Amino acid sequence: MKTAIETIDFNGLEAIRLTGPRGTTAVVSLLGGQLLSWVTHDGRERLYLSPKAVFDGSLPIRGGVPVCFPQFGTEGDMPRHGFLRTCRWRVASQRHAEDFALLTLEIADDEASRAIWPHAFRAEITFMLEADRVDLEFCVENTGGTSFAFTGALHTYLRTTQVEDVALEGLYGHQYRDDAADHQTLRDSGTELRVESEVDRVYFDVKRPQLLQAGNLSLGIHSRGFPDVVIWNPWVDKAVAMKDLPDDGWRHFLCVEAAAVGQAIEVPAGEEWYGRQTLVVV
């Protein structure tokens, strides 16, 4: 099957569909600059998109890979996870060849963004789809005259059949802040993480990749540039309270986020910063 890039309508959203080698596909929404779907060559959807997601921009789209910038969560005074999730991005470039399909979206500050965060910036997100992997590279350029700092994340919702059956490896020995337990700082002492209640953790300074395993499905997750990894699942009660998630939605995803939370990233005037998350079928 040939690779391709085309504009499609996705639930009323303007979106781009990438067809990669071996029939893999990815769908990227211009609203949010957000990957919404990644189907691997075995025909499996690997990302979770809530059946109750809102696509009109009044809320961030619940699922896929939201881009959180320039604030992670409630670390500052901005709306949760910053403002980019509900902004419209533009196509900067696209290219496909025999063994890949690649799309870059871009966005820059405007009057609305400067009212929330008074800095000049340009951001790019590149989606590179290959036979067995997808790479998301986020680039932030400081186009102003003074340095700025940001926190943020690629807030990846990995699809699970039953999150209780998932084992996540790779975080053993790391220090984490447990946001589901009074923000205590703890050290991970289990060889694998299992979800048996609400999980909301920031793991600091993670250099190793993670491996998500459930039955015969496994996925490698690797980040560069982003120092931290956030693991989130709302579990039963918090899911019921979320209007854009079905009551049993918590069961069908685990967020494994490439994040910068513990220490804000400084971008001096005129400079750029890059961070990446790679998802690989193993």
- Using the rule CB under 6 A, which residue among 107, 134, 171, 230 binds ligand BG6? 230
- In the complex with ligand BG6, the residue whose CB is nearer, 124 or 257, is 257
Q: Please say whether the beta carbons of 46 and 65 come within 8 A.
A: no
* Centroid of chain to Cα 269: 26
> CA nearest 189: which of 207, 174, 201?
174
Q: Which of 10, 69, 148, 232 binds ligand BG6 (CB under 6 A)?
A: 232
β-pairing, 121-129 with 253-267?
A: unpaired
What is the layout of strands, in order, in the sheet containing 34-39? 4-10, 13-19, 25-29, 34-39
Q: Does residue 257 carry a catalytic annotation? A: yes
Judged by phi (left if over 0) then psi (alpha if -120 to 50, else beta), residue 198 lies in beta
Among residues 99 and 247, whose Cβ is nearest to ligand BG6? 247
Residue whose CB is less far from ligand BG6, 46 or 155: 155
71 phi/psi in degrees, rounded to 5: -140, 130
Q: Which of residues 144-183 bind ligand BG6 (CB under 6 A)?
A: 155, 179
Which residues ranging from 189 to 208 are in contact with ligand BG6 (CB under 6 A)?
200
For the record, the structure tokens of 198 come out as: 């609400």
User: Counting contacts by CB under 6 A, is residue 228 touching ligand BG6?
Assistant: no
Minimum gap (Å) between residue 13 Cβ and ligand BG6:
18
When the beta carbons of 28 and 256 are compared against ligand BG6, the nearer one is 256
C-alpha distances out from residue 81 to 60, 140, 155, Å: 10, 16, 9
- Give the amino acid at 191: T
Question: Which of the ranges 26-34, 73-81, 187-195, 204-212 carries the binding residues for ligand BG6, by CB under 6 A?
Answer: 73-81
Which one is catalytic: 81, 96, 119, 155? 155
Residue with smaller CB distance to ligand BG6, 24 or 50: 50
Is 119 assigned a catalytic role? Answer: no
Q: Binders of ligand BG6 among 5-44, rule CB under 6 A? A: none
Token code pair at residue 137: 């590279």
Straight-line distance from the first to the last Cα atom of the chain, in angstroms, rounded to the nearest whole number: 22
The minimum distance between CB 223 and ligand BG6, in angstroms, equals 14
Residues that bind ligand BG6 (CB under 6 A): 60, 73, 80-81, 155, 179, 200, 230, 232, 257
The catalytic residues are 155, 257
